[in-house]
Structure 1
Amino acid sequence: MKKTKFLDKFLVAFFVLVAIKIIAMIAQWSQEAMQDALASVFKFIFFACIAVVMIILLQSKEKDPLPPAQKKYGGGGVPLDSSLFDRLKSMYEDIAEKHIQNNEYKKAAVVYMNLLKDYYRAAKTLEQGGFYNEAAAVYLKKLYNKADAANCYVLAKQYDKAITLYKELQQKEKVGDLYKIIDDTENAFLFYQMVIDDYLMSYQMVKASLVYRNKMNMPTEAQKVLLRGWEENHDPLNCLQNYFANIGDVKKLGQEIQEIYSRTPSDKKIIYLEAMKHEFKKAPELRVPTRNIAYEIIAEKVVTRSEIVNELKHFNPDDEVILKDISRYKTGRNKMFRN
């Protein structure tokens, strides 16, 4: 009842203001051209009529029950027809888009935040415009998204704030990266070592070696981890291939291939043979030692794994005779088993 009386009084006051405005505009006719003055009056009357309709709609909503086709929108709980809400939303979307086209990213963000209540798009718009601190604040306070907030702080070069968030998120490698950026090597290595320890706990030896090599510049430690992975059967082939790949000197690589093979147990020689297929192609100097190792492994395993003879072709790619020999061997062996 009180709201209805308020709307009635507001409507009366509104009409009084409209009348005063029209009189003031008519008074200016002596100063303006008649055509321009009439146009101004009609524009004002048009928008005033729209406002009156809105007020009457609100007044009728207070008197009648809310129809099923209507919903409540907005923080104040004012009932609005769903089609009207959709039109308002579309209008706000257009306004925000025009602000973005004009590079007015903060204004667009205000529309998304306050009128559309779309906090994610508000944050993304601020980020797009380079307002990283403001975007980070929206991510934190409205979306509770520490990861995106931390990324914005990095872009804003607010490294201390980013480090705090990444610590809370347990993203240790990123914490190490940021400490490295601000030349705090001691803390950077502390967090990198935590990352390595986590990888070693889950036997991800290659990933641990990459942190040693690429982040801490410790190639010797990286090789030790890879060799350990090979010896302890934690992704052995991948570890062995990465170990060999890190040796740039061909002569030293040949020596390492021979040395590791001399310590390779019989049950891992098939894996070693697979690695030799890759090393054989690296350099002409490696063809003889890798081929000899391959022959030795094939000769040792052919009794129990006859199909291993097919591997000979990888170490004699241009030798057509070897293919015929392989075919004859397989044919003869098949005949032996049939008899």
Structure 2
Amino acid sequence: MNRQKFIDKFMAAFVLLAMFKIIGIVAQLFHESFWSVAGTLGIFLIVAFIILIVITSLKDKEQNNRNSAGRKGSGSSSFYLENSLFDRIRSKYEELAEKYIAEKDYKKAARVYMNLLQDNYRGAKTLENGELYNEAAVVYLKKLNNKSDAAVCYEKAKQHKKAIDLYKEMEQKEKVGDLYKEINDLKNAHHYYQMVADDYVKNSQMVKASLVYRRKMEKTEEAQKVLLKGWEEDKDAFNCLNNYFANIFDIKKLESEIQNLYEKAPAHKKITYLDVMKYEFKKDPKLHTVTRNIAYEIIAEKVSTRSEIVNELKFFNPNDEVILKDISRFKTGRNKMFRN
């Protein structure tokens, strides 16, 4: 089939399909609003007009070329012409969509992407960018089966019930709790937060569980219990103890708790306790005495098996030159670590 015949047949087929399309659009009046149908029809007529201009231009160009080029190479030229034609039509669609976006007519732009370019994702994204969140959610859900983006759009549209249902399907329990809390349904919010906290505890993620209790549920005591459990059961012990102390804001109470937990600490956790004491020492000058004394006890207890631990004395005595000299003597074996 030479190029001229291809163009003629394409134009005839296009006109026929356009007629059927117009009839189909008009038929939508039975189940859609007049303005919705009018908008769709308007877009189609504009696009059809553009396509006819492109085809007519190609037809005129081909007629001129035939007078000089003859029929040589018609097969490969026809293939090139078909690709060129569709590329130009697609380019016109892209330009039309961009024009509608520039005019902030996001619905028309989305229709071009979905109906003419067969790109549902760009259509949904265009609606979302235009803050048409309900419409975008429907496209994400029905056209793309993308529950995650659909839920986000429903959330932005304040369609909390629909968003909650989707997050439940995706088993995003914390997000479900957040949305219930946003609509002041604290009973359901805490129910889902509790499931999240239980999951974290089950997976030995005690700090994360404590954050759910403290930040989401505002249950500080429960948060502290989980952190203490993590310390006692050696589940991320350092971070659990560090966060446990960080949640005690009364200095006297904190000082007492530091001493109390140290007295209960087993031997194999003393080094971890020493590391935590470094943080507490820097927190407040009022904690210097208790943290330094605990550090001295741990260092004295462990120095026989871990000689390098004497270096920790510098942290608790940063300006004490005597301590620094004693450490140096101990390391060189010329004297004892502590002087009477």
Gaps of 5+ in 1: 15-44, 57-64, 72-79, 335-339
1:273 positional shift: 0.0
- 2:244 corresponds in structure 1 to 243
- 1:288 corresponds in structure 2 to 289
Q: What is the rounded CA distance, in whole Å, between the counterparts of 2:242 and 2:234 in structure 1?
A: 13
Secondary structure of the corresponding residue to residue 248 of structure 1:
coil
Structure 1 contact 150–161 (Cα < 8 Å) conserved:
yes
1:326 positional shift: 1.2
Cα distance 1:101–1:10, how it changes in 2: closer, same or farther (>3 A)? closer
Q: What is the rounded CA distance, in whole Å, between the counterparts of 2:136 and 2:61 in structure 1?
A: 36
- 2:86 corresponds in structure 1 to 85
1:53 positional shift: 5.5
Q: What is the rounded CA distance, in whole Å, between the counterparts of 1:118 and 1:303 in structure 2?
A: 72
Matched, 1:304 2:329: no
Per-residue CA distance 1:87-137 (angstroms, 9 max, x = gap) = 222222222222212211111111111121121111111111110000001
Task: Report the residue type matching 1:235 in the other structure.
Answer: D
Per-residue CA distance 1:243-262 (angstroms, 9 max, x = gap) = 00001111111111001001
Cα distance 1:227–1:146, how it changes in 2: closer, same or farther (>3 A)? same
- 2:125 corresponds in structure 1 to 124
Structure 2 contact 230–236 (Cα < 8 Å) conserved:
yes
- 1:329 corresponds in structure 2 to 330
Cα distance 1:68–1:219, how it changes in 2: closer, same or farther (>3 A)? farther
| Displacement over 6 Å in runs of 4+ | 45-48
Q: What value does the CA root-mean-square deviation take over the aligned residues? A: 3.1
Cα distance 1:93–1:321, how it changes in 2: closer, same or farther (>3 A)? farther
Q: What is the rounded CA distance, in whole Å, between the counterparts of 1:54 and 1:150 in structure 2?
A: 51
Structure 1 contact 213–222 (Cα < 8 Å) conserved:
yes
1:197 positional shift: 1.0
Per-residue CA distance 1:164-222 (angstroms, 9 max, x = gap) = 10000000011111111112111111111111111111010001111111111110000
- 2:49 corresponds in structure 1 to none
- 1:261 corresponds in structure 2 to 262
Secondary structure of the corresponding residue to residue 154 of structure 1:
helix
Structure 2 contact 54–89 (Cα < 8 Å) conserved:
no
1:303 positional shift: 0.2
Cα distance 1:10–1:115, how it changes in 2: closer, same or farther (>3 A)? closer
Gaps of 5+ in 2: 17-51, 64-73, 336-340
Task: Report the residue type matching 2:323 in the other structure.
Answer: I
Task: Report the residue type matching 2:111 in the other structure.
Answer: V
Task: Report the residue type matching 1:175 in the other structure.
Answer: V
Task: Report the residue type matching 2:179 in the other structure.
Answer: L
Task: Report the residue type matching 1:277 in the other structure.
Answer: K
1:277 positional shift: 0.4
- 1:50 corresponds in structure 2 to 57
Structure 2 contact 173–196 (Cα < 8 Å) conserved:
yes
Structure 1 contact 227–239 (Cα < 8 Å) conserved:
yes
Cα distance 1:308–1:7, how it changes in 2: closer, same or farther (>3 A)? closer
- 1:23 corresponds in structure 2 to none
- 1:217 corresponds in structure 2 to 218
Q: What is the rounded CA distance, in whole Å, between the counterparts of 1:67 and 1:177 in structure 2?
A: 61
1:331 positional shift: 1.0
Q: What is the rounded CA distance, in whole Å, between the counterparts of 1:151 and 1:232 in structure 2?
A: 39
Secondary structure of the corresponding residue to residue 318 of structure 1:
coil
Task: Report the residue type matching 1:50 in the other structure.
Answer: S
Identity of aligned residues (%): 63
Matches within 5 A, 1:176-187: 176-187=177-188
Task: Report the residue type matching 1:183 in the other structure.
Answer: N
Higher relative contact order, chain-length normalized (CA < 8 Å, sep 6+): 2
Larger radius of gyration: 1
- 2:201 corresponds in structure 1 to 200
1:81 positional shift: 2.2
Q: What is the rounded CA distance, in whole Å, between the counterparts of 1:161 and 1:326 in structure 2?
A: 66
TM-score for the superposition, normalised by structure 2: 0.77
1:320 positional shift: 2.7
Structure 1 contact 7–55 (Cα < 8 Å) conserved:
no
TM-score for the superposition, normalised by structure 1: 0.77
Cα distance 1:244–1:297, how it changes in 2: closer, same or farther (>3 A)? same
Structure 1 contact 136–148 (Cα < 8 Å) conserved:
yes
Q: What is the rounded CA distance, in whole Å, between the counterparts of 2:57 and 2:285 in structure 1?
A: 87
- 2:111 corresponds in structure 1 to 110
Structure 2 contact 125–136 (Cα < 8 Å) conserved:
yes
Q: What is the rounded CA distance, in whole Å, between the counterparts of 1:81 and 1:9 in structure 2?
A: 12
